[in-house]
Chains A and B, each alone.
Chain A
Amino acid sequence: MTAVRTVSATRESQSASEQPLPVEAMRLTKTYAGNVKAAKDISLHAGVGEVVGVVGPNGAGKSTTLKMLATLLRPTSGSARICGIPTTETAKVRPLIGVALQDVGLDPLMTGCEHFQVQAAINGFRFAQVEARAAELVDQFSLGSYVKRYVGAYSGGTQRRLALALALLTDPKVIIFDEPSAGLDPRARQDLLGIVKALKESGRTIVFSTQYLEEADALCDRIYLIDGGVIVANGSPDSLKRKVADPTLQLALDHPSDDHRIDAALAGLPVDVVDRNGNALSLKVDESKVKPTQVLLALDGRGIAIKGFRLAPPSLDDVFFHFTQRSLQPEPLEKPHMDLGTRTHRGGGKRWK
């Protein structure tokens, strides 16, 4: 029985390994006019049910990379496959992917409801076939009170929510989101995290770009850090953090301690004092040479009473800084260029300029 189970498990694993990766890019390069290289030799992949983040500052090449994966931009060199199909075979690839780009891609003269209808049509469905799914998405993205209004009258955040909902209308296997949380308020961003997690649990593969490191940290199985069109590092958030920086030992002391006693306690230990402020003390600990408990004992040995402590891992910003020598601060995105006033489908308001 055990032998049978083992053989069966091996076959399953073989068949799984033979399945093409949902997303695979090999040395993608995009050079724009004027020899501007927006992406250079980008190689990345995403497995079934994986959430992969492409993280970098504005102008790093995230959108270019995602557009090449989404079949919207022809790479200058290199290749990409979606579920094993080359992205050059657009007619086969496009039905497999749901895309929400940084430009929300909405028509200001159409209502939200009409967008769902057109999205169904351009995906080859009759609206009746996806109506239930559309209603579900309207609820999920809190669009109920907006769907009958012209999209030009939506706020930037609402437009983005609609764009995300449209990308999910036909239940695509692979989802590509470019800066999905840009323009969303904190609550909507929190909701988005929940939606992405639910999509992951349902086996969807998600590739998304972001400038928000905490978002990438919370959602991604793997991260590709990109800067200047080049991937500077990749791995799981934890492995990246482990790779580049030591954890910080954050201590809460019982009483403010004098610097001499602390220095004496730490003398000879491979630690760096990062911060000392009253009762708080932060130390960078080289874990390969000393255990945090040894540091605690050394402090205790000098009569420094410790009320509490926490071993804080390095942040992704530390990781980004390590590879690029600069911090990754998200920049506010402009509202999409579709402000046509406050017109609704009942008429009135401004007209085309």
Chain B
Amino acid sequence: MEVSILVPMYWRAVREALRVSVATIVVPLVLPLFMLTIFAQLFSSITSIPGFGQSNAYVSYVAPAAILMGAMLGSPTTGISSAMELQTGFLSRIQMSSLSMFTNLQVRRLADATRLAAFGLMLTAIAWIAGAEIKDWPLALVAGMAFAAAWGVAYGGLTLSVCLRTANIETAQALVPLFFPILFMSTAMVPLKMMPTWLQDIARYNPVSYICDALRSAQMGSLDLAATEKAIVGILTVAAITQVLIWLAERKLARD
């Protein structure tokens, strides 16, 4: 396979995302914006509850949650595009090329990662406008972009695998609400100590908890290496699981 194929395929995916920008950019950002501007203000007094243990404004606390929410809501694009390609037969055209299915999907996911990284950048800036404290801008932006892209792509693999199996766009839409329990069963909204015990157990195994901790520490200017390490392990684990699901879906596709 020639590497020269990858560049046009990457730009094709980027171009497509821009052409349906309402679906791929505007809609995924609506809820995070709501969270930073309305939700964070509405629950601003939560920080004064004993046990919260954070002296900053609540918007600073939930800024990482907004970034990850944007990443999760923006992650189904590769799955939706693949379902459409299966429906229209475009995937057969790709199959006829020297580009393997695996590479084709990874190129699309790379285009997704670019967009989600841009989400990370935008939401960090919006969080600051909404009142969040950013002590180290370069670190906050790099961490926001990297974690948004990495988590979004790893998590989006679930939608992709389902779309490859069903060739159905609606299944991708059906999976969208999944972001809700994942986010709320982590330390994205409140610290661990404020959760019921059973939820604390779940939050401890939820990679989103560690990604939020790492992002918060980056915004405060001192990266929590232990949390970052756990966040990376969590993302890699989810990426590995979803990649196996994608691989199984690809095999089914090739068999059929």
Q: Which residues of A contact B (CB under 8 A)?
A: 32-33, 70-72, 74, 91, 94-95, 97, 99, 101-110, 114, 117-119, 121-124, 126, 166, 336-338, 345, 351-353
CA distance A126 to B16 in the complex (A): 21
Give min CB distance, B91 to chain A, whole Å: 8
Give min CB distance, B219 to chain A, whole Å: 34
Whether, in the assembled complex, B98 has its beta carbon less than 8 Å from a beta carbon of chain A, the answer is: yes
Assess the B23–A122 pair: CB atoms within 8 A: no
Give min CB distance, A82 to chain B, whole Å: 12
Assess the A108–B88 pair: CB atoms within 8 A: yes
The B contact surface, by secondary structure, is: helix
Whether, in the assembled complex, B89 has its beta carbon less than 8 Å from a beta carbon of chain A, the answer is: yes
Residues on B with beta carbons closer than 8 Å to the beta carbon of A337:
87-88
**Which of B20, B84, B89 touches A104 (beta carbons < 8 Å)?**
B89
CA distance A102 to B92 in the complex (A): 11
Can you name 25 A-B pairs with beta carbons within 8 Å? Answer: A72-B95, A72-B96, A74-B254, A94-B97, A94-B98, A97-B96, A99-B96, A105-B90, A105-B93, A106-B93, A107-B90, A109-B16, A110-B15, A110-B16, A114-B12, A118-B12, A121-B7, A121-B9, A122-B98, A123-B97, A124-B4, A124-B97, A124-B98, A351-B20, A352-B20
Residues on A with beta carbons closer than 8 Å to the beta carbon of B89:
101-106, 336
Give min CB distance, A241 to chain B, whole Å: 35
CA distance A97 to B256 in the complex (A): 22
Residues on B with beta carbons closer than 8 Å to the beta carbon of A107:
12, 16, 84-85, 88, 90
**Which of A104, A105, A121 touches B8 (beta carbons < 8 Å)?**
A121
Whether, in the assembled complex, B22 has its beta carbon less than 8 Å from a beta carbon of chain A, the answer is: yes
Residues on A with beta carbons closer than 8 Å to the beta carbon of B95:
71-72
**Smallest CB gap from B86: residue in A:** A103
Q: Top 8 A-B pairs ranked by shortest CB distance?
A: A103-B89, A122-B97, A105-B89, A121-B8, A105-B93, A352-B23, A109-B16, A107-B90
CA distance A353 to B98 in the complex (A): 31
CA distance A101 to B95 in the complex (A): 13
CA distance A248 to B9 in the complex (A): 58
Residues on B with beta carbons closer than 8 Å to the beta carbon of A336:
88-89
Residues on B with beta carbons closer than 8 Å to the beta carbon of A118:
8-9, 12
User: Which of A33, A105, A119, A123 has its CB near the most chain B CB atoms (within 10 A)?
Assistant: A105
Whether, in the assembled complex, B80 has its beta carbon less than 8 Å from a beta carbon of chain A, the answer is: yes
Give min CB distance, A280 to chain B, whole Å: 48
Give min CB distance, A156 to chain B, whole Å: 12
User: Which of B8, B9, B99 has its CB near the most chain A CB atoms (within 10 A)?
Assistant: B8
What 8 new A-B contacts, CB under 8 Å, besides A104-B89, A105-B88, A121-B8? A94-B96, A105-B89, A106-B93, A108-B88, A110-B16, A114-B12, A124-B2, A352-B80
Residues on A with beta carbons closer than 8 Å to the beta carbon of B7:
121
Give min CB distance, B143 to chain A, whole Å: 31
**Which of B5, B22, B85, B169 touches A122 (beta carbons < 8 Å)?**
B5
Residues on B with beta carbons closer than 8 Å to the beta carbon of A74:
254-255
Residues on A with beta carbons closer than 8 Å to the beta carbon of B99:
122
Give min CB distance, A353 to chain B, whole Å: 8
Chain B window 10-34, contacts with chain A (Cβ cutoff 8 Å), 1 for yes, 0 for no: 0010011001101100000000000
Residues on A with beta carbons closer than 8 Å to the beta carbon of B175:
none
Residues B48-107 near A (CB distance < 8 A)? 80, 84-85, 87-99
Assess the A121–B88 pair: CB atoms within 8 A: no
CA distance A124 to B16 in the complex (A): 22
Give min CB distance, B74 to chain A, whole Å: 13
Assess the A109–B20 pair: CB atoms within 8 A: yes
Give min CB distance, A338 to chain B, whole Å: 5
**Smallest CB gap from A337: residue in B:** B87
Assess the A126–B88 pair: CB atoms within 8 A: no
Give min CB distance, B172 to chain A, whole Å: 11
CA distance A101 to B88 in the complex (A): 11
CA distance A110 to B169 in the complex (A): 19
User: Which of B2, B4, B89, B91 has its CB near the most chain A CB atoms (within 10 A)?
Assistant: B89
**Smallest CB gap from B19: residue in A:** A109
**Smallest CB gap from B173: residue in A:** A353
Residues on A with beta carbons closer than 8 Å to the beta carbon of B254:
74
Residues on A with beta carbons closer than 8 Å to the beta carbon of B2:
124
**Smallest CB gap from B16: residue in A:** A109
**Smallest CB gap from B85: residue in A:** A107
Residues on A with beta carbons closer than 8 Å to the beta carbon of B15:
110, 114
CA distance A351 to B4 in the complex (A): 30
Assess the B92–A72 pair: CB atoms within 8 A: yes
Assess the A122–B12 pair: CB atoms within 8 A: no
Give min CB distance, A314 to chain B, whole Å: 37
Known: A107-B85, A118-B12. Contact between A126 and B4, CB under 8 A?
A: yes
Residues on A with beta carbons closer than 8 Å to the beta carbon of B5:
121-122, 124
**Smallest CB gap from A336: residue in B:** B88
**Smallest CB gap from B8: residue in A:** A121
Give min CB distance, B19 to chain A, whole Å: 5
CA distance A94 to B1 in the complex (A): 13
CA distance A37 to B94 in the complex (A): 26
Give min CB distance, B173 to chain A, whole Å: 10
CA distance A122 to B85 in the complex (A): 15
CA distance A352 to B1 in the complex (A): 32
